[in-house]
Amino acid sequence: MKRSLKFGIPILIIVCGLGYLAVSGVEESKSYYVTIKEMKEMGDGVYSKRLRVAGNVLPGSIHRQGTHVQFTLSEQGRTLDVVYNGTEAPPDTFKDNAQALAEGSFGRDGLFHAKQLQAKCASKYGPAQPGQGGEQQQSASPPEKAEAAAPGMSR
């Protein structure tokens, strides 16, 4: 009996400790994805949760000072002022009208305090639209340049 208590109690303490660390780690890293509308309808619960909010960066709203950035997200006619104080500078694709995802918490000061910031430029990697400078226009210009460079040559 003494031998099982000798090993059982420390094993039980270790298992309980690991269980606590696992549960608290999941709770800390868990974040809720909400729209701006949903966030503003959450009541007082909004202040205690880690949130992810997406929207388009309102043109002219970006104010940078090193890694500190203030901007406004816009989604379906609603806006949200965001403050980002990260250790890394915002991504290169973070600019006016870019789609952005801010992860952090909403403060009682009315600002969303982002700890992480992701951005993508919707038009950068999309397919070329007809008449908007697609591949067809680009492939037509090299022969024209070649003819202009050597006007005296005939075919």
Q: CB burial class (10 A; 0-12, 13-18, 19+) of residue 80?
A: buried
In Å, how far are 96, 102, 120, 133 from 83, measured between CA atoms? 16, 9, 18, 36
Pick the CATH number of 30-120 from 3.40.50.150, 3.40.50.300, 3.40.1080.10, 2.40.50.140: 2.40.50.140
> How far is Cα 106 from Cα 28, in angstroms, rounded to an integer?
16
Q: Where are the domains of the chain?
A: 30-120
**Would you state the torsion angle of the CA atoms of residues 119, 62, 33, 39, taken in this order, to the nearest 10 degrees?**
-170
The pLDDT of residue 67 is: 79
pTM of whole model > 0.75? no
pLDDT at 50: 86
Mean pLDDT by 10 residues, the chain (155 residues): 75 82 62 81 83 89 87 90 86 85 89 87 55 47 44 48
Helix (H, G, I), strand (E, B) or coil at 32: strand
Q: What pLDDT is recorded for position 28?
A: 56
Q: How far is CA 149 from CA 113, 118, 142, 146, in A?
A: 57, 45, 11, 5
pLDDT of amino acid 6: 78
Tally helices (H) and strands (E) across the chain: 3, 7
Alpha carbon of residue 148 to chain centroid: 47
Instruction: Read off the DSSP letter of residue 14.
Output: H
Phi, psi of 115 (to 5 degrees): -105, -25
DSSP H/E element including 26: helix 2-29
Across the chain, the runs of DSSP E, i.e. the strands, are: 32-34, 51-57, 63-65, 68-75, 78-85, 99-106, 112-120
pLDDT at 82: 93
